[in-house]
Structures are given as C-alpha cells and as structure tokens.
Amino acid sequence: MTDYWPGRFDGQVALVTGAGAGMGEATARRFHQEGASVVLVDISGRQKDVAAELGKRAVPVQGDIASSADAANAVRTAVEEFGGLHIIANVAGLQEMPTPLDQLAEEEFDRMVDINLKGAFLFMKYGIPPIIESGGGAVVNVASVGALMGFTGLPAYSGAKGGIISLTRAAAVEYGQRGVRINSICPGTTLTPRLRFFFKDHPPEVLEAIVKGSILQRGADPAELASTIVFMASREASFITGANLVVDGGQTVLAPTFFQSG
C-alpha cells in the first residue's frame, strides 16, 4: 500500500520553492510521485540532485526566491519546459538566529522579510497569470506557527510569516473567481535538516523539549507537511480557498496542565 495517490496530478505542472531539502524536497517528490511535472527551485544547488533522481518530468532551477528576476525565470521555465503552470508551493523560508527585537539589525529584518514574505509575493506575482492561462489551479504558501504564537527572539521571522497569512487571504479574494485557489498552512516543529543544523550546538535536550511541546509529543516529518501541501493543491480541496490550515500536532492549542484528569 502506498501513502500517495498515483496519477492524481497527471497533466499538471507544479513549481516548488525550497526544493533542495527538507519540506520543499519532500513536497516536490510527492507531486512527482502523484504524476505532476515539477520545477524544483532552490538557491543551494541541491535541487539538481533531487531532479536528477526523479528523472523525467523534473527540472531544477537555480534561484534566489527574493529576486524578481529569478522568480520570473523559474515561472518562465515551467511554461517553456512543460507548457503551462497549475500549482505553486511556496515552501522556501529561513529562520533568524534568536535575537531580541531591539538588538535585531535592520539588515537582518529586511533579509527575513525578503525570504519569508517577499518570495511568496514574487512567485504569485509572476506565477498566477500563467496558472489562469492554464485553466486554473492552486497556490499553497507555507507560513508557520510563529505567525500565531509569540516566540522569544524571532520578531522578524514571526512578522514575515504572519504577513504570509494576510497576503494569502488578499490574493485568494482577488483571484478566486479566476480559477485560482490560494491557501496557507502553518507547520509546527518540523524535523528538517535545517532545524537540526540550527540546534547542532545545543544540548540534545533542547530540541527534545521543543518537539515535545505539542499534544502529539513529537516533531513532524517533512513528508507529513508535504502531504498537507499536496492535499491543499489537489481537487480534493476544491472548495477551500483563503484558508490557513494549522499543521502542528496541537502545538498552538496546548496549555500547561496543572492537574491530571481521571
């Protein structure tokens, strides 16, 4: 038994940012498994190896998501290589090193906004017109529970991810009647290579405590978030637009428990 739906995206073209590793890579693989032609965008170069492994119907693009020229090139590549575009998954993002707001450099704030908010804007700006021309489709923007909760030392990241949710709603209103559904998701702690690298200099107990800060008492596998993104882009979600889906194992609803029931 497979955990994916073969053929669900036959004939469709999906563009995935951050496709070189982690959640973006898992998402690109899942779209490809389910029949889509996939454009894998990343700045790292690792997307080339992923695309080579996937083989046919997979094209890597080197690009900085905060660059207007690179975003336009990625969308153009999708249309030129595969004849159109139906899906955009704006997965790429970056978290700042924990810094109090009053000590955060303006340049670092700008960098967080460029990567975590402007990138989604640029790929929608250039990608929505060809989605409309292709007969309609979907955009899924990846925000974060950081948009819904206050985290010490992450003001720029949280602010930018909060902007993703509002940007998503505004775009959904504007393009819904033209055949484009636009939604966002808020992942909780996800065990990506980037997260593990972020905590590499901390005692193991630190990351362990963080992943247990949810009802399910664990972090998510990137493939679990890929499943959610793919669902939100699929026909099964055809009546969902302008929504923000929280995928956090219950992290945002868990309050300290002072007594045991039963």
The pLDDT tens digits of the residues spanning 29-57 come to 999 999 999 999 999 999 999 999 999 99
- What is the structure's pLDDT at 194? 74
User: What residues have CB less than 8 Å from 172, skipping those under 6 apart?
Assistant: 181, 182, 183, 241, 242
Tokens 């790292």 locate to: 44
Which one of 4, 126, 157, 175 is the catalytic residue?
157
- Residue 168 · residue 244 · CB < 8 Å: yes
Q: How far apart are CA 202 and CA 68, in angstroms?
A: 36
- What is the chain's mean pLDDT, rounded? 92
- Local structure of residue 16 (DSSP, 8 states): E
Domain chopping of the chain, boundaries: 13-190+221-245
CATH class of 13-190+221-245: alpha beta
If one counts every other C-beta atom within 10 angstroms of the C-beta of residue 216, the result is 14
User: What residues have CB less than 8 Å from 41, skipping those under 6 apart?
Assistant: 15, 16, 17, 18, 19, 47, 60, 61, 63, 65, 70, 74, 92
Output b/e per residue, 229-252; b: 16+ Cβ within 10 A.
bbbbbbeebeebbebbbbbbbebe
Dig out the tokens for 15 from the structure: 């563009």
* Selection from 205, 230, 165 nearest residue 26 by Cα: 230
Q: For the chain, what percent of residues have pLDDT higher than 90? A: 79
Q: Is 35 helix (H, G, I), strand (E, B) or coil?
A: coil
Is 157 annotated as catalytic?
yes
The pLDDT tens digits of the residues spanning 65-93 come to 999 999 999 999 999 999 999 999 999 99
